[in-house]
A and B are shown apart, each in its own frame.
Chain A
Amino acid sequence: MISDDQVRYVAKLARIALSDEEVNKFSEQLSKVIGYMKILNEVDTKNVKETHQVTGLKNIMEKDIVNPSKCKRDELLECTELPVDSNQIRVKHAIK
């Protein structure tokens, strides 16, 4: 069972504003879905390693070569609607 408070806590971690109605709905739906996940407890995974990737790749080191960027600085700045000031994006204050 996932309570409304737990839903609010997870939403805070995920930086998502939820309405009370959404909190209610998610508490019910997430309880059901997460409840189903318990089926995995049937499986004995003692001494089993985790799979993080499937094609057996090892560390891939990048060659130290200068490559042109995929897009230009002003193209990147166009991706925001926020005001642009001396090549930087002006955001809301974080510290008062």
Chain B
Amino acid sequence: MRLNELTIREISEGFKEKKFSSRELTEACLSAIKEKDFEINAFVTVDNEGALESAEDFDKKLSRGEEVSVLGGIPVALKDNFNTKGIKSTCCSPILRDFVPPYDASVVKMLKGNEMVMVGKTNMDEYACGGSTEHSYFGTTKNPFDVSRVAGGSSGGSAAALASSMCIYSFGTDTGGSVRQPASFCGVYGMKVTYGRVSRSGVTAMASSWDTISPFGRSAEDIAYILDAVSGDDYYDSTTPGVEVPDYSEFLNKDVKNLKIGLPKEYFDRGIDKEVSETVKYAVKRLEGMGAKVEKISLPMTKYAVAVYYITMPAELSANLERFDGIRYGKKPEKDSKNLIDYYFQARGEGFGEEIKRRIMMGTYVLSAGYYDAYYKKAQKVRTLIVKDFEKAFEKVDVIMGPVSPIPAFKIGELVDDPLSMYMADALTIPASAAGLPALSCPVGLNSDGLPIGLQIIAPQFKEGLCIQAASALES
């Protein structure tokens, strides 16, 4: 096995036993980028020099016998909406195409405290709006399993980079499914954390009451180590509540005897691809064989989640993107403007891509006078009922399982001109987001075309450990 295909534990042990250095590992990842990324297009910025420098610093620290983190010296890729000091952070939007942030996001600072080696910044749908990474200023990211298909989105670059061994782990953001769905399309693990578990400070906001900072990894074990490093309160994000952070690695290799699994009938309904549904059920059967108890449940509000999301998210998005006006943030318009207001119109008209304009328009519409009660307020109420659905279910079961996406990776261009169908592809990831729950996308097999299928494990708030425990059992 090549160095860049190893897991975090294998690497961390390899470093300690001096089998290889961080520099060698980093070089292996950088060469994979060089070899494959012209086709995959997972990265928008590659930091060769910076990565090698951090790798050498780590190697020196290790050789001096200093204490190092389990993530130390291990190459990571970050979605391009993470602010990285001195390195372009564009959100893959034309309006930010030259933006170099003057500070690091809190999560980047935490990773730097863990001897981070960052190989680069990854491609995404503009401002994290999309489910396919086709809405990027820098072109579409291809699926490593079949380059005629999408890698998923919006964190498609981070998922594809990991699946093609260009890094060892990566980060994205999951608002309505943007980590879980690309993880499922690219055959890697993607953990959407509880809302507030990881600080959002310094990561460009999309929909503030939904956004989470969430990792991709090669195994449940890798996910546990990553969460250990980045979870917890942050002074700069007041929505990180003072909930104790457990040691996530303690949930690994625990048995699942008597773990109560709920299978919502709505997650296996019509519209779910047959192979997806069968593969997911087979994974659940394996857990049942290990002593887990499986129960059929119902989450009747599931069918309303897409409508709730595509009202409240654009509303929050349109408010958050207000700051991109070509003055506080963003590029000056090419076209000459008569006055200040004309300047705003031009800067935003030129600077935003089509999907962003569409969503800002939707958000502005549902918040505008005369429509607020009918759409926004109504959606916020139905959101309450989605939360209650889950509360009721978790009185009976420990975790809920179902597919991540109703279909495997679709063809590039297939849904791009049909926004509503594209939005419906998020139908099974949005509900957990609406309730702020943690949910892990776990690769459980391939379909007959060789495309990966993901199992979704949803747990009550701040019980990420249960997702890791169940996924870890499936690995054994």
Contacts and interface: CB of A to CB of B under 8 A. Distances in A.
Co-assembled chains A and B? yes
Interface of A: 2, 6-7, 10-11, 13-18, 22, 26, 29-30, 32-34, 36-37, 39-43, 45, 48-57, 60, 62, 70-72, 75-76, 78-82, 89, 91-94, 96
B238 interface: yes
Most buried by B among A37, A42, A70: A37
19 contacts: A15-B341, A33-B423, A37-B379, A39-B303, A39-B304, A40-B304, A40-B311, A45-B382, A48-B384, A52-B209, A53-B209, A54-B461, A55-B239, A55-B436, A57-B238, A70-B102, A79-B329, A91-B327, A92-B337
A10 B436 CA distance: 30
B194 interface: yes
B419 A29 contact: yes
A54 B435 contact: yes
Consensus secondary structure, chain B interface: helix
Contact of A79 (B102, B238, B308, B360): B102
B340 A15 contact: no
Contacts of B364: 10, 13-14
A55 B195 contact: yes
A61 to B, nearest CB: 9
A71 B318 CA distance: 26
A70 B106 CA distance: 11
A22 B357 contact: yes
Contacts of B308: 40
Interface of B: 99, 102-103, 194-196, 209, 236, 238-239, 241, 301, 303-304, 307-308, 310-311, 318, 325, 327-329, 331-332, 337-346, 348-350, 352, 354, 357-358, 360-362, 364-366, 368, 375, 377-385, 387, 419-420, 423, 434-436, 461
Contacts of A60: 238
Contact of A14 (B236, B354, B360, B381): B360
Given A37-B375, A94-B339, A49 B196 contact: no
Contacts of B340: 91-94
Sort A-B residue pairs by CB-CB distance and give the 5 closest, nearest first. Answer: A17-B349, A54-B436, A50-B380, A75-B102, A71-B102
A19 B299 CA distance: 43
Given A30-B361, A55-B461, A48 B385 contact: yes
A37 B310 contact: yes
A34 to B, nearest CB: 7
Contact of B325 (A7, A15, A72): A15
Contacts of A11: 361
Given A39-B304, A55-B196, A45 B241 contact: no
A55 B352 CA distance: 32
A76 B328 CA distance: 9
A43 B382 contact: yes
Contact of A51 (B310, B350, B375, B384): B384
Contact of B384 (A10, A32, A50, A96): A50
B239 to A, nearest CB: 6
Given A32-B420, A91-B327, A92-B343, A18 B357 contact: yes
Contacts of A70: 102-103, 236
Contacts of A42: 304
A64 B328 CA distance: 27
Contacts of B331: 81
B180 to A, nearest CB: 17
Nearest to B361: A10
A37 B461 CA distance: 28
B414 to A, nearest CB: 17
Given A10-B361, A29-B419, A51-B381, 7 more contacts: A33-B420, A34-B375, A42-B304, A50-B380, A51-B380, A55-B194, A79-B99
A81 B332 contact: yes
Contact of B307 (A6, A37, A79, A80): A37
A17 B343 CA distance: 10
Contact of A16 (B194, B332, B357): B357
Given A32-B420, A45-B378, A14 B361 contact: yes
Contact of B361 (A26, A49, A62): A26
A53 B380 contact: no
Nearest to A72: B102
Given A26-B358, A32-B420, A49 B241 contact: no
B352 A16 contact: yes
A32 B419 CA distance: 9
A2 B365 contact: yes
Contact of B241 (A57, A62, A93): A57
Contacts of B461: 54-55
Nearest to A35: B420
Question: Which one of B209, B236, B239, B362 has the greatest number of beta carbons of chain A within 10 Å?
Answer: B362
B360 A89 contact: no
A52 B279 CA distance: 36
Contacts of A50: 377, 380-381, 383-384
A8 to B, nearest CB: 10
A80 B387 CA distance: 42
B343 A91 contact: yes
B144 to A, nearest CB: 31
Contacts of B325: 15
